[in-house]
Amino acid sequence: MHPLFKSITAVVGGALAAVGLLYAWPHIAAAGLVFHPLWATGLRGEGLLSAVHVGDFLVSMVLLLPLALLLRVLGTAHPWRDTFLACLSLVATSAVLVGSPSSHTGILGVLLALSPAAALLADVWLCVKITGRAPNNSSKPTPLRGAA
């Protein structure tokens, strides 16, 4: 597969993932899938806020797993280049559709805007660690050492 096609696929995949996240997160928040169980445990204040951010990160990792698997299937020659392009596309598409974090939100707003990109990086890293190198699925037999 041509490297340009892989890069375009990574950029389009990142943009589609951003749209998917923007569609899924209001439904997840409205259902209270992260907040309500944490509230029921008795967490309040900064502890609750920190736990919600960690929960949101983990849910983003689950939602971005198909994109990470797509990036892994694209090939092992330059996985981090394609991942960088997908993260850049994810953040740029989110900024265009929602708006970039403004200066009044401070550093927390910027970090929260970059959280899906960090989740995608963590997903790709996990995929690389779990799958390792792709097996040789060639139909040709491996020659024996010393065979002429």
- Per residue in 84-133, pLDDT (tens digit) is 999 999 988 988 888 766 655 677 777 777 889 999 999 998 988 887 75
**Interatomic CA distance for residues 59 and 35, integer angstroms:** 12
- Tally the domains of the chain: 1
- Tokens in use for 141? 């037999």
| Assigned token pair, 113 | 């805007």
Range of the domain at 17: 3-131
Burial bucket for residue 115 (CB in 10 Å: 0-12, 13-18, 19+): middle
In the prediction, which pLDDT does 148 show?
56
Q: How far apart are the first and last CA of the chain?
A: 33
Is 141 within the bounds of a domain?
no
| pLDDT range class, residue 5, cuts 50, 70, 90 | confident
Q: State the pLDDT confidence band at 138, using cuts at 50, 70 and 90.
A: low
**Percentage of the chain with pLDDT > 90?**
28
> Does some domain include residue 143?
no
* Domain presence at residue 148: no
- At CA 25, angle to CA 38 and CA 100, rounded to 5? 110
- pLDDT reported for residue 114: 86
Q: Measured between alpha carbons, how far is 73 from 13 in angstroms, rounded to an integer?
A: 12
Query: Is 46 contained in some domain?
Result: yes
Amino acid, res. 27: H
Question: With a threshold of 0.85, does the pTM exceed it?
Answer: no
